[in-house]
Structure 1
Amino acid sequence: MTARKNHILYLCKGMALHIPGRITAYAALMYFVFGTTWLHAQNKAIVSGVVKDSLGQPVADVLIGREGNRQAATYSDSLGRFSCTVEAGKNTDIYFYHPGFISQKRNVLLKPGEELKLLITMRGSASSNLGQVVIKEQGHNLQEVNTLDPKVVKDIPMPSGDFNAILATQPGVVTRSELSSDYSVRGGSYDENLVYVNGIEIYRPQLINQGEEEGLSFINPDMVQSVDFSAGGFEAKYGDKMSSVLDVTYKKPTSFAASASGSLLGGDMHVEGTDASHRFTYIAGIRYKTNQYLLNSLDVQGSYKPRFADAQVYMTYALSDKWELDVLGNYALDEFNFVPQSENTSFGTISQAYNFNVQFLGQELDRFQTITGATSLNYNAGGKLKMQFTVSAYNDNETQNFDILGDYLISALQNNGQVGYAIGQGLYLNHARNDIGGMVYSFQYNSSYAFSRSDNLLWGAEYQRQDFASTTSQWNLVDSAGYSLPYSNSILNLQNVVKANAMLDVDRLEGFAENIWHWQTADTGLFTLTAGVRGNYSDLNHEPVVSPRATLAYKPNWKKDILFRLSSGYYFQPPFYRELIQPDGYLNTSVKDQESIHFVGGADWNFRAWNRPFKFVVEAYYKDLVNVIPYNISDVYINYYPDLTAHGYAEGVDMKINGDFVKGMNSWFSLSVLNAKYKINNANYYLYYNSYGQQILPGVTANTTVADSAKHTAGYIPMPTDQEVTASLFFEDYLPRFPDFKVHLNLIFGAGIPFGPPAKPPYADTLRTPFYQRVDLGFSYLLLGRKGQVKKGFTRYLKTVWVGLEVFNLLQANNVISYNWISDVSGRQYAIPNYLTAREVNITLSVAL
């Protein structure tokens, strides 16, 4: 955690509102935040002039703003001209920002009615942030995209310590495990979320079964400049997934900085800087994580040795004032070694309580290695046309090996909590030797052209090549009371036997075009229409698809600061490797693209309470799931059934309020309601009855001789991520007399999600897990870097030093992530819950240079 002095940048009233054609997400954030609020002051002065580059050519689309009261945005026009109003009689800093140049600042002090003309020269072409200028999220989003503050990530107390912790408290987002960075959005699966870093698509590992095995997500919080997130209804420039988009942009530093932090769960370091000419910038980071300390609180005891590490670098070099070269690289290695010893789990109800005790032999050895590299050539002449050429590659190598023998005993629990009589005994042996290797190559072209200040066109194209190969060998042996299940008096039966080799080569072409229009009504209300179309073709299923998408935003000229949005689009998701794997381990290459139609309506309201800024956002949505692949989830692993298809819907409401509940500290509360169901096409199942007309239930019905059967058509069932209600809170506070002592509270509540006994297809997943509820509390104190503090010796080289204490799962909630199903010899099944981590304490130390 670093101390930072928040200077709020407020923008000036000026020319007609618009959005430049191809600006960075950070510049777009500043526009959206402040572009719809107007200056009202009695004593005014005018600042106008021209912005040029080092060659004397005019620079368009320069964002111009000042510190003071919040104002509307203004940009330089195609001739570099600008004009804005400032308050007279005050020293005012005016900032000039453009992603292709070094930011400039001018201080002015003007008399009432005075007009000052400036000539601003923008130098260099390495993009930079605004130094100490921090933008508060109080503006409007004209697209279905929310801008998040990346600096708050390290303030959120979460065991994962992952960047995706910032998503866990966003409306519409569901996370079920503090050990995993996976998330679902509005009823979608984990694989329906797009993640971009600097325009490069990021991929998830394929073989991870449990959150314990999962390491670091790709995104390094120390390197992040801006974050945009959309929970649905996103525009055509984003790719082909059905649920959400996380668009992250890494920093382009303007000066040297470095940081290091450590805790009981790992550590990280980063360094950033630029050369004297600001033509070359670099930022690099390394991270190490071990959640061994957390895993020791699980019911399954043993020797956990998880080791997760990665290294990243992002560099830019300005070849000229028009051309820039960017390079992004990442290497990640995750190793999970586990030797289980025992498990002791209590489960059931008050009237029927059981104890599950297991003694283990064996071990698990997993290794996941990924390498990502990308190079971009950017053209920006400071005018209407901008272009980007990108080549990227992703390499994935994963191995999963385990042989684990468990000797179990199921006993009834007495009223005093003591273990009573045994009701089931047996053993199971789980075996796996799985490998997967893959490469994804991509060649991209993206461009934009500003026809005018209110008419901007974006377009792009991409060729992608996917090569994957896998070997799967896994099976389970279950023995109950000396009989292997399913029982046979002649052979030894194994369960869930998968032995397969598979290879996949796919070529894909995709492209998009979209336009952004702005216009004002007679009463000076503002309309913004973003409309576009996206298309893709794959030689896997030879299915060309076209995806139209549009968003209409309206900002009425009301006293209240409110904006309305309507979005709709047709979204296709071409099958990736994971979606093609059948339960038998082989690939189904005849799978068609998944399809959904989004309808989203919402509103933003900026208001003030207690003389502090607040923002309330509400969205209602309906997703028509035209064609989806049925699946179920075990822990974090998704089992797809690509030989089946389904249709359904997801509907709900998301709400969020954020603002300064404590002065100067940003907090928020989110609430979501969801209803997601699907129906498997042409799906039937049978119920069996004995001679007494009783339905045969294994382990329950005494007479199990089948005398009759009845065929039923499967109806709508809850989707695996149908969490009906979720609520989350992130709250920050400080001690009034000791403002350098801060408190961070993170609260997450979620209703149960569907589950059921193992079945194919998953017709029986209609039971519900218990509520997910979690409270994490963090404390931080600024040891070095306080106002007026004298630094001596080596501390003169340190900017800040923070020390922290975190309490995870403060309320000691027993959250369930999945179930193991154990059958006795009569066929009766018991659902053994797998609980997540218990209460733990973590100590952190962070240093910034």
Structure 2
Amino acid sequence: MNHFKLIIVFLFLWTGYTVSAQSARVKGVILDNENHPVGDVNIVAGDKTTKSDAKGHFQIFVPSNKKVALIFTHISLKMITLTVNLKPYETFVFNPVMNNSEEQMGEVFVSSKNKKRVQGITVIDQSTIKKIPGANAGIENVLKTLPGVNSNNELSTQYAVRGGNYDENLVYVNEIEVYRPFLIRSGQQEGLSFTNTDLVQNVDFSAGGFQAKFGDKLSSVLDITYRKPTQFGAALEASFLGGSLAVDAVSKNKKWSAVTGVRYRNNSLLVNSQDTQTNYTPTFADIQTNINYDVSQKWQLSFLGNISQNKYLYQPLTRQTKFGTIDQPMALAVYYEGHEKDQYDTYFGAIKTTYKASPTLAFKLIGSLFHTVEQEHFDILAQYRLGNVDEDGSMNPDNVDFTRGIGTQFNHARNDLDALIANIEFKGFKEWKNNSQLEFGLKFTRESIRDRVVEWEVIDSAGFSINPPILDLPKNNQPYEPYTGPLLPYQNIRATNFNDINRFSGYAQWNNKTELGSSQFWYTVGARFQSWQVSGADIEGKNQTVFSPRVQFALKPDWEMDMIFRLSGGLYHQPPFYRELRDMNGVVDPNVKAQQSVHVVLSNDYNFKMWNRPFKWVTELYYKSLSDVNVYSIDNVRIRYVADNNAKAYAQGLDFRLNGEFVPGTESWISFGYLKTEENYENKGYIARPTDQRLKFAMLFQDYMPNIPSVKVYLNLVYNTGLPGGAPAYSDPYLYQNRLNDYRRADIGFAKVFVDSSNQHLKTGWLKNFKEFSLGLEIFNLFNNQNAITNTWVRDAYTKNQYAVPNYMTSRVFNIKLNARL
């Protein structure tokens, strides 16, 4: 593909290149009176012409800084005339409705009012999300290619942003906060993300410095809006990993509309590519619906519901892992008995009502209920053999010429959790003619948690039991000397917690646009508060309150270059959620304080044209100073907190992103990020935090075969330097620091498109029933890189050493996927 060569040349030679031709773009969707798309509409702007496609989509480039008349004509519908005056590189979205009774004329003067660009929000196209391959395809899969967003676990949809952890990210669907299950400890247990990609209309993401209207977390906001359908439709996807079906429905009077999706997933294809051979029978399924009802032009109602059942049945059989060095190759062979039986059932429902008292005044009332019932039960006995590989270099764990260690490990858990979270929230929005807006809201949340933790681990090596590493016990020199101390589990956690948490929160913010000389200037000033109290059967926490002021400034100079400069930040708090209240022993401390972060983000957003196509270069410099830090350890995706707020930390970094139409009509991007984050616990000194992901490079690229344009190619490439997660979870990080190897992964997809909007007029036979139809091949982990998520620590009875045996993620996997849309 010649386009790949162009990217490489661009990266080395690009130094702020721009083209002299200054133009703007008008694009949109043309509909008729019945909300059906209108194809073959002629659009004329001066000496330029184009046509709308079968789905009504069009785009046309026009000269900037001058009045330009656009004329829309159709063989059976009346003409529309529109006059615009656009800034250089401006994109104006115009969605006309054509009728057969009267002609329409209008004049629009457009200045730069792209609110999301001014706010520093990244907008992700829904069609891109659907196309990009990944072991966990969806919104989170695409997020991981953005700068500042890191993950080294392709089996998980969780992600860390700019030094934060998985618990520090806000996720909204239709302005309603959504939650994840609590007990999940491994990415392969997760099943399905809450967000159903088939239902999505808009996806906005902020990696920091977000406004006060968003909630109380430290790292990021993912704001998703589900679509409101205008006509009947259906979408089907099927692959070796499962399938999904989504249906759009609209009533005859257009007052009712609904979009409903059903999904099923089976990760056996991915898990069976790992070192551990298993009997694995997972069932991940959910049904989700978004129903809208227009009571009147001023009053709308909507309902969002989700039922999810994730069953994880896991019976490991054997494991064979090769590791070590060229001079000393080693192998670990493990033979298992027992099984793991986990189940996560979640039920979610939310009602939202919107009342528009006037074009400039609106109110919203939102109520939601989330219920999760979770169990994590396992009894697994592992008998291992550690040794040097024989001299023939076969690296076969069964052929070792010297056995270094033989032992057993028994893990037991009976963890159960039942959580009920209820929310009610009131929001308001008021706009004035001077480009000012006031936004405000109040919210009450009640969380009821019923939790039992029972888990322990026993390790036996060369015939003697190994005592826990964190207790002061008599010296154990078995088998050479008798041991007189007690026999204890290596790890032992037991706790029962019945807790209720009441939270009151609110926000208010003022948005305004003005001018500084000939430049445009936007600012947002706002603040949040939250007050909460934790109570339980035998505990009563104190009432705590935090206040979080936040500001955003954006300046667009009156230059020929289309640039925006932004400065944002403030004081961010994260009042503890249930998992943050629970310490390493499973016991809840009701008086854990909110973690606090002073956050500053300085960024530049530059729109330009290259190859006569739009591009954007975004640079962001950020710094976070954290206090009252609740330190934690990460094992796979399970986070365990110390729960004492006895640390301080910082995070600093620089992110770059170049995105645009490297290939005409498709969006691709390249990301690079540098991050350093450290913590100081009990004034012992600064050490790397578990999310200290120093360097990150990612590429998301869309292309097509030059000689076969109906064959599309999609590339998802990520490189991350190693995380400091290689030490045992129980070890003292000040005594032992170890990093995992770098994470390298490339997923590629090929799709043969039989029908889409560009060739619908040519379809015949059974294909004429489809708006889209494609068949694709996906290759996960294209280069078969061995990426480790954690280490298993195995003791050598002869030298008393422990060896870090990598727990590798998935190897190369092939998948076939079918997509169809009616």
**Normalised TM-score (structure 1):** 0.82
For 1:824 and 1:586, the matched residues in 2 are separated by 34
Q: Note if 1:586 corresponds to 2:587.
A: yes
- Indicate the residue corresponding to 2:565 in structure 1: 564
| SS of equivalent to 2:768 | helix
- Unaligned stretches of 5+ in structure 2? 1-23, 29-44, 49-56, 74-79, 85-93, 468-475, 477-482, 535-541
After superposition, the Cα gap between the structure-2 partners of 1:510 and 1:72, relative to the gap in structure 1 and judged at 3 Å, is: farther
**Does structure 2 conserve the Cα–Cα contact (< 8 Å) formed by 1:328 and 1:373?**
yes
Aligned-residue offset at 1:643: 2.9
**Does structure 2 conserve the Cα–Cα contact (< 8 Å) formed by 1:43 and 1:88?**
no
**Does structure 2 conserve the Cα–Cα contact (< 8 Å) formed by 1:94 and 1:105?**
no
For 1:320 and 1:645, the matched residues in 2 are separated by 54
Residues 447-498 of structure 1: CA distance to partner in whole angstroms, max 9, x if unpaired? 1101224111000010000000111111001000000002544643212111
- Indicate the residue corresponding to 2:87 in structure 1: none
Q: Note if 1:284 corresponds to 2:257.
A: no
Which of residues 810, 813, 820 in structure 2 aligns to 1:840? Answer: 813
After superposition, the Cα gap between the structure-2 partners of 1:634 and 1:89, relative to the gap in structure 1 and judged at 3 Å, is: closer
Specify the code of the residue in structure 1 equivalent to 2:459.
V
For 2:621 and 2:567, the matched residues in 1 are separated by 10
- Indicate the residue corresponding to 1:802 in structure 2: 774
- Indicate the residue corresponding to 2:353 in structure 1: 377
For 1:275 and 1:89, the matched residues in 2 are separated by 33
| SS of equivalent to 2:315 | strand
Q: Note if 1:782 corresponds to 2:753.
A: yes
Q: What is the number of equivalent residue pairs in this alignment?
A: 727
Q: Please show how residues 570-719 of structure 1 align to structure 2 within 5 Å.
A: 570-682=571-683, 714-719=684-689
After superposition, the Cα gap between the structure-2 partners of 1:813 and 1:138, relative to the gap in structure 1 and judged at 3 Å, is: farther
For 2:374 and 2:71, the matched residues in 1 are separated by 65
- Indicate the residue corresponding to 1:501 in structure 2: 496
**Does structure 2 conserve the Cα–Cα contact (< 8 Å) formed by 1:95 and 1:106?**
no
Specify the code of the residue in structure 2 equivalent to 1:720.
P
Identity among equivalent pairs (%) = 38
Q: Please show how residues 168-317 of structure 1 align to structure 2 within 5 Å.
A: 168-317=144-293
| SS of equivalent to 2:623 | strand
Residues 652-686 of structure 1: CA distance to partner in whole angstroms, max 9, x if unpaired? 0011000111122211000000000011125xxxx
After superposition, the Cα gap between the structure-2 partners of 1:538 and 1:451, relative to the gap in structure 1 and judged at 3 Å, is: same
- Indicate the residue corresponding to 1:68 in structure 2: 60
**Does structure 2 conserve the Cα–Cα contact (< 8 Å) formed by 1:300 and 1:342?**
yes
Larger deviation, residues 585-594 vs 788-797:
788-797
Q: Please show how residues 813-828 of structure 1 align to structure 2 within 5 Å.
A: 813-825=785-797, 827-828=800-801
Larger deviation, residues 539-548 vs 567-576:
539-548
Aligned-residue offset at 1:219: 0.4
| SS of equivalent to 2:544 | coil
For 2:494 and 2:201, the matched residues in 1 are separated by 46
| SS of equivalent to 1:738 | coil
**Normalised TM-score (structure 2):** 0.84
- Indicate the residue corresponding to 1:87 in structure 2: 69
Q: Please show how residues 286-365 of structure 1 align to structure 2 within 5 Å.
A: 286-365=262-341
Aligned-residue offset at 1:106: 4.8
Specify the code of the residue in structure 2 equivalent to 1:10.
V
Q: Please show how residues 411-422 of structure 1 align to structure 2 within 5 Å.
A: 411-414=387-390, 416-418=393-395, 419-422=400-403
| SS of equivalent to 1:141 | helix
**Does structure 1 conserve the Cα–Cα contact (< 8 Å) formed by 2:376 and 2:413?**
yes
Q: Note if 1:723 corresponds to 2:717.
A: no
After superposition, the Cα gap between the structure-2 partners of 1:66 and 1:757, relative to the gap in structure 1 and judged at 3 Å, is: closer
For 1:507 and 1:72, the matched residues in 2 are separated by 54
Q: Note if 1:444 corresponds to 2:425.
A: yes
**Does structure 2 conserve the Cα–Cα contact (< 8 Å) formed by 1:752 and 1:770?**
yes
**Does structure 1 conserve the Cα–Cα contact (< 8 Å) formed by 2:525 and 2:550?**
yes
- Indicate the residue corresponding to 1:549 in structure 2: 550
Specify the code of the residue in structure 2 equivalent to 1:539.
Q
**Does structure 1 conserve the Cα–Cα contact (< 8 Å) formed by 2:674 and 2:696?**
yes
- Indicate the residue corresponding to 2:462 in structure 1: 481
| SS of equivalent to 2:284 | strand
For 1:346 and 1:205, the matched residues in 2 are separated by 34
- Indicate the residue corresponding to 2:715 in structure 1: 745
- Indicate the residue corresponding to 1:24 in structure 2: none
**Does structure 1 conserve the Cα–Cα contact (< 8 Å) formed by 2:69 and 2:83?**
no
For 2:658 and 2:99, the matched residues in 1 are separated by 35
For 2:770 and 2:385, the matched residues in 1 are separated by 57
After superposition, the Cα gap between the structure-2 partners of 1:515 and 1:376, relative to the gap in structure 1 and judged at 3 Å, is: same
Residues 754-773 of structure 1: CA distance to partner in whole angstroms, max 9, x if unpaired? 03234365434521110000
Aligned-residue offset at 1:613: 1.0
Aligned-residue offset at 1:88: 6.0
| SS of equivalent to 1:293 | helix
For 2:25 and 2:307, the matched residues in 1 are separated by 37
Larger deviation, residues 767-776 vs 660-669:
660-669
For 2:64 and 2:484, the matched residues in 1 are separated by 81
**Does structure 1 conserve the Cα–Cα contact (< 8 Å) formed by 2:573 and 2:595?**
yes
Aligned-residue offset at 1:503: 1.3
For 2:338 and 2:25, the matched residues in 1 are separated by 59
For 2:568 and 2:403, the matched residues in 1 are separated by 59
For 1:231 and 1:678, the matched residues in 2 are separated by 21
**Does structure 1 conserve the Cα–Cα contact (< 8 Å) formed by 2:592 and 2:645?**
no
For 1:278 and 1:815, the matched residues in 2 are separated by 51
For 1:72 and 1:222, the matched residues in 2 are separated by 37
For 1:781 and 1:468, the matched residues in 2 are separated by 49
For 2:362 and 2:645, the matched residues in 1 are separated by 44
Q: Note if 1:513 corresponds to 2:529.
A: no
For 1:581 and 1:597, the matched residues in 2 are separated by 25
| SS of equivalent to 2:709 | strand
For 1:669 and 1:94, the matched residues in 2 are separated by 36
For 1:346 and 1:43, the matched residues in 2 are separated by 67
For 1:66 and 1:814, the matched residues in 2 are separated by 45
After superposition, the Cα gap between the structure-2 partners of 1:758 and 1:822, relative to the gap in structure 1 and judged at 3 Å, is: farther
- Unaligned stretches of 5+ in structure 1? 1-7, 13-40, 45-64, 74-83, 97-101, 120-136, 683-713
**Does structure 2 conserve the Cα–Cα contact (< 8 Å) formed by 1:162 and 1:216?**
no
Larger deviation, residues 602-611 vs 826-835:
826-835
After superposition, the Cα gap between the structure-2 partners of 1:67 and 1:425, relative to the gap in structure 1 and judged at 3 Å, is: closer
Specify the code of the residue in structure 2 equivalent to 1:604.
D
Aligned-residue offset at 1:140: 6.6
Residues 555-608 of structure 1: CA distance to partner in whole angstroms, max 9, x if unpaired? 001011111000011000010111111121111111000110110000011111
Specify the code of the residue in structure 2 equivalent to 1:448.
F
Q: Note if 1:10 corresponds to 2:26.
A: yes
Q: Note if 1:532 corresponds to 2:526.
A: yes
Aligned-residue offset at 1:148: 1.2
**Does structure 2 conserve the Cα–Cα contact (< 8 Å) formed by 1:718 and 1:765?**
no
**Does structure 2 conserve the Cα–Cα contact (< 8 Å) formed by 1:632 and 1:762?**
no
For 2:234 and 2:138, the matched residues in 1 are separated by 19
For 1:589 and 1:625, the matched residues in 2 are separated by 21
For 2:463 and 2:83, the matched residues in 1 are separated by 78
- Indicate the residue corresponding to 1:38 in structure 2: none
Aligned-residue offset at 1:322: 1.0
Aligned-residue offset at 1:352: 3.3
For 1:490 and 1:623, the matched residues in 2 are separated by 47
Computed over aligned residues only, the root mean square deviation of the Cα atoms, in angstroms, reads 2.8
Aligned-residue offset at 1:354: 1.7
| SS of equivalent to 2:580 | helix
Residues 240-287 of structure 1: CA distance to partner in whole angstroms, max 9, x if unpaired? 000000000000111111011100000000001211222111000010
